[in-house]
Amino acid sequence: MGDCTPVGLHVGILAIQGAFSEHKISLTKAIKNYQFEKPIKLSLVEVREEENLEGLDGLILPGGESTTMAIFLESNGLTQVLRNWINSDKSRVVWGTCAGLILMSNEIEGKKQGGQSQIGGLDVTTSRNFFGRQLDSFECVLDIKDSKLQENFKDSSQKGVHGVFIRAPAVLSVNSPEVKVLATVSTPSSEKPVIVGVGQRNLIATAFHPELTEDPGWHAYFLRKVLAAKIHS
């Protein structure tokens, strides 16, 4: 018989604004609904200051207003702290949703006047308000491009994997062969599919809000990456 001892995973969620509580619920649901390579004992931490990062195996940067989040991080000295934390240990898995994608992108189109600080790390160019204003929010079926990711959506064969887009960004270009496209969407206004999910080494980013759907498949995917990194580090 294999070792059934649970692996302790410590996951932080940046808790400045946005749906960080919904991320906690989705992570807990993923633990209950999915089988993983090894049993997981999950510990969740709300991150608001540097001390909260200690001992974390993974981190989620949730949605919100990216400029407000960037100003908070910069004024509290956390931009460089997070940048150093992410880069100092590649076994740490970081996932940004919506505003988190913007913060993690190396290049941003449509920055606020005077610029916008960012954490960076993803070799992509992202448009801040690609899909328009709050009134242009929508839901649609995603085209999942990664087979390992697709395996996490148990009940999606008939109804598809849904994305909730709220004043959402999108990836305009992938600027490194290290970046893998995870998901796209097709829209009437775009000649080709729009990139809305990417991964690069230990980084994941989505333009939409998986935490606002009933399906915790994206959170299971994130936890699998955190677990694999923890086991093999």
98: annotated active-site residue: yes
Dihedral over Cα of 9, 15, 19, 22: its sign: positive
Nearest residue to 162 via CA among 129, 204, 210, 120: 210
Active site residue 209: yes
- Which one from 211, 214, 219, 232 is the annotated catalytic residue? 211
How many CB atoms neighbour CB 80 within 10 A? 12
Q: Please write the tens of the pLDDT for every residue from 59-90.
A: 999 987 777 788 888 888 889 999 999 888 88
Q: Is 162 a catalytic residue?
A: no
Give the residue from 202, 203, 226, 201 showing the smallest Cα distance to 7.
Answer: 226
Angle at 82 between CA 223 and CA 89, to 5 degrees: 60
Could you tell me how many residues make up the chain?
A: 233
Q: Which residue has the tokens 């990664």?
A: 146
Give pLDDT tens digits for 161-199: 889 998 899 999 999 999 999 999 987 777 789 999 999
Among candidate residues 98, 151, 162, 214, the one labeled active-site is 98
Statement: the pTM of the whole predicted model exceeds 0.85: yes
Task: Cite the annotated binding site for L-glutamine by residue number.
Answer: 64-66, 128, 166-167
Please, which pLDDT band fits residue 1 given cuts at 50, 70 and 90?
very low
Q: Which residue has the higher pLDDT, 46 or 116?
A: 46
